[in-house]
Structure 1
Amino acid sequence: MRTLFGDGFRVFFLAAGLFAVFSIALWEGWLAVHATGGLIISMPFAPAPHLWHAHEMIFGYAGAAMGGFFLTAVPNWTGAKAARHAFILAVSGLWLAGRLAVWWSGHIDPFIVAVIDLAFLPVLAAKIATQLVKRPKPQNLMFLVLLTMIWSGNLLVHLEWTGLIADGVEPGLHLGLLAVTAVIVVIGGRVTPAFTRNAMTRAGVEENLPQSFQPLDATAIASAILLPLLLVFVPSESAIGVLAIVTGLSQALRLAGWRTLWCLDKPILWSLHLGFAMLAAGYLALGLAYLGLISQVAALHLLGIGAVGGMTLAVMSRAILGHAGLPLTAPRSVALAYGLIAAAAIFRASGSIAGLDWYNIATLTSGALWIIAFAIFVSVFFPILITPRKL
């Protein structure tokens, strides 16, 4: 147990993997019952099942993945002392308490549910802030702004669930998801070209290395951060659509300079490129959706499954291998999991574009692929996460 809580990535990445399987298995079961003509009258949680599903994937799954990443990466960025066992145990307990409170929200006062569920991110952000001030850089301090945006999205959801406002759930979920994808724009935009460049250099490649252009990076990041704010505060569908397309195109142009083809025989690298490609595609689809051309639900699932699911799976698996002192080579089963997540995103998006008959097949297939992918992740990395680092 001491090993599990010794590093932030261990307990949180394990929690993310287990919750990814558990939550989608429950959602998949509910969908299957209704798709076959059955009816589930009541659930332990208060919100509608599709809202529970959306909330828990954004603030539950993504919250765990980000918790593990930041508690591990920020000390490396700043040279600050890593969080102690007691803090990791406490903050992971807050994350779990939030999941249990929302699950049993049908039997708990909604204000108590809100207090419990909203406690995790401020505690995490406060810890990160104390580490970032050791070496304050604007490009890192922006993560505190993004975490605040994610928390604000969750707050909007709970404000409606407690009856204090009439319209908080949908904008809150969108704010949360798009703030999470903005985190991926920043982190993915750093690690994808950097890890690719390092691998090419180690292989003796000296020319045509991945390139990043500061004006393009600035546009990509600024538009990704502005998009969720525009959606909440200036809900003009045409403006949101245009900005989302700008955001998607800027991500695609960044990716075009990162030598993706060189990585095709290296899953630990192409998984990052694939996740970033899904990010660009999701933003472009969202822009088209707000311009009235395709389904908004399809676009949101490209972002949620393909970008958030795909990129977090890629980053978590690489981080676990690296911090456990193991070679940075993804096992074949994990490489399969990378592909399954992208396929899950495509199936789910297509289900919202085609007719009802295909919707049920595509959605259930998407859920099954997601479950298989994260079951592989847990089965491969669980022994590593509970074992001390190899010296």
Structure 2
Amino acid sequence: MVLFALGFRPFFLAAAIFAVGLMAQWVFTFAGNREFANYYGAIGWHSHELIFGYAVAVIAGFLLTAVRNWTDVQTAAGASLAGLTALWFIARLMPFFPGAFPPWLIALVDIAFLPALAVALSIPLLRSGQRRNLIFLPLLGALALANFLVHLELTGYTESSARAGTFLGLNLIILLIVIMGGRVIPFFTERALSGVIPKRRPAIEWLSPASATAFVITDLLLPNSMLAGALAALAAVSNGIRLGGWYTNRFWRVPLLWVLHLGYAWVVAGFCLKALAAIGLISPQFIVHAFTVGGIGVLTLGMMARVSLGHTGRPLKTARPVALAFVLVNLAAVIRGILPIIFPQWLPQLVALSGSLWMAAFSLFFLIYFPILTQPRIDGRPV
């Protein structure tokens, strides 16, 4: 079955449709409809599922595809990929039936996905001996630990670990974006624009992920501290310099490129807001959505669009509705990530508008890419 030939196909489709449903629930909830029968609760479901549902699905699709390319060893496909996808879906559905399943079982199924993904990736990585790419295995393990912290509170074993687990999960996703973005964004830019060679400064290439890693650890142990803020500032500067080295005004003519560069710019903006919050210039409640709607939303949408075309043998041309989706998700990020800092009194209206733009963007992606992801490659290659 074509859908389960390679990881990006089922997981990108699942992520896109889930992104729409996830935001629809949140807009409905934020409008005052808080009666939400769910294991996580209304607010908890929104934060948990954006990280451990949507973002993890995109990461799964990307890594299962990328590792196959890096190692030339087949990753999960066919029945094994279908099983992995089913595990993700079941983990999304079970929380809606808290009376039918004990909390420990809901937690166990949800926690199991990331270790299962790590095992699926470890086989080709270990066979190939590519030590450089083994870094993704402990990162997936750390994400599983973050998810475990969330479920410890929800199952009654702790009183206050869910928030720490949620923010650890978010920060780890941002770290993964820094690592993966540093590899693929300059590569895609160089491939698409003849004569353009993005600058890679060795010190910056080391400092960008190193500062982000230090921030992740410090924000877990000393959340919202001055030290965490200082490391966020260092991550903002180093990743900003890194992003500047990739810049060329030629990429503005290629939507598949500018969406990735803007997504990475949102990560830099998120680190900047973290630093400003640490010194009291803005409220901590306003810093999250530059990372989530901007960094995660913009960059993952662009990545799904680019990877799906490349791995189905199609020309790297952006359909107009998809280019519109890129614009809409960036507008959603501005409206949710920046405007509430300036106009906090308009927060309900801004949430509704941003959520609507997000849903429109991912709906457009799903409609255009459904046939691409469910049909064979057009160049005749098997996968």
Q: How would you bin the TM-score normalised by the shorter chain?
A: over 0.9
Aligned partner (choices 79, 94, 108) of residue 101 of structure 2:
108
**Partner Cα distance (2:197, 2:328) in 1:** 29
Residue by residue over 1:196-253, the C-alpha shift from the partner in whole angstroms, topping out at 9 and shown as x without a partner, is: 112222xxx2xx6211112111111112122222222344611111111111111110
1:88 aligns with 2:81: yes
2:241 aligned residue: 253
Aligned partner (choices 211, 233, 242) of residue 199 of structure 2:
211
Aligned partner (choices 171, 196, 200) of residue 193 of structure 2:
200
1:153 aligned residue: 146
2:46 aligned residue: 53
Contact 1:44 1:106 in 2 (8 A): no
**Partner Cα distance (2:209, 2:39) in 1:** 36
**Partner Cα distance (1:224, 1:252) in 2:** 12
Deviation at 1:75, TM superposition (A): 1.1
1:23 aligned residue: 22
**Partner Cα distance (1:363, 1:117) in 2:** 28
SS for the counterpart of 1:44 is: coil
1:167 aligned residue: 160
**Partner Cα distance (1:104, 1:295) in 2:** 36
**Partner Cα distance (2:230, 2:96) in 1:** 37
**Partner Cα distance (1:250, 1:311) in 2:** 19
**Partner Cα distance (1:93, 1:233) in 2:** 35
Please identify, of 330-339 and 115-124, the stretch whose mean Cα deviation from structure 2 is larger.
Answer: 330-339
**Partner Cα distance (1:302, 1:293) in 2:** 16
Deviation at 1:28, TM superposition (A): 1.2
Q: Which letter does structure 2 place at the counterpart of 1:120?
A: F
2:11 aligned residue: 12
Q: Which letter does structure 2 place at the counterpart of 1:362?
A: L
Deviation at 1:299, TM superposition (A): 1.7
2:328 aligned residue: 340
Q: Which letter does structure 1 place at the counterpart of 2:10?
A: V
Q: 1:329 to 1:297 in 2, by over 3 A?
A: farther
**Partner Cα distance (2:154, 2:339) in 1:** 28
Aligned partner (choices 176, 181, 204) of residue 174 of structure 2:
181
**Partner Cα distance (1:302, 1:103) in 2:** 29
Contact 1:298 1:351 in 2 (8 A): no
SS for the counterpart of 1:118 is: helix
1:229 aligned residue: 217
Contact 2:13 2:373 in 1 (8 A): yes
Query: So what's the TM-score if we normalise by structure 2?
Result: 0.95
Q: 1:101 to 1:260 in 2, by over 3 A?
A: farther
Deviation at 1:351, TM superposition (A): 5.2
Deviation at 1:355, TM superposition (A): 5.1
Contact 2:229 2:277 in 1 (8 A): yes
Deviation at 1:259, TM superposition (A): 2.3
**Partner Cα distance (2:78, 2:278) in 1:** 45
Please identify, of 175-184 and 348-357, the stretch whose mean Cα deviation from structure 2 is larger.
Answer: 348-357
Residue by residue over 1:252-303, the C-alpha shift from the partner in whole angstroms, topping out at 9 and shown as x without a partner, is: 1001111242201110111111111111111111121223221323221100
**Partner Cα distance (2:3, 2:124) in 1:** 21
Q: 1:292 to 1:139 in 2, by over 3 A?
A: farther
2:123 aligned residue: 130
Deviation at 1:313, TM superposition (A): 0.6
Please identify, of 354-363 and 111-120, the stretch whose mean Cα deviation from structure 2 is larger.
Answer: 354-363
Query: So what's the TM-score if we normalise by structure 1?
Result: 0.93
Aligned-pair RMSD on alpha carbons?
Answer: 1.5
SS for the counterpart of 1:293 is: coil
Q: Which letter does structure 2 place at the counterpart of 1:54?
A: S
**Partner Cα distance (2:53, 2:25) in 1:** 14
1:381 aligns with 2:369: yes
Gap runs ≥5 in structure 2: none
**Partner Cα distance (2:310, 2:69) in 1:** 13
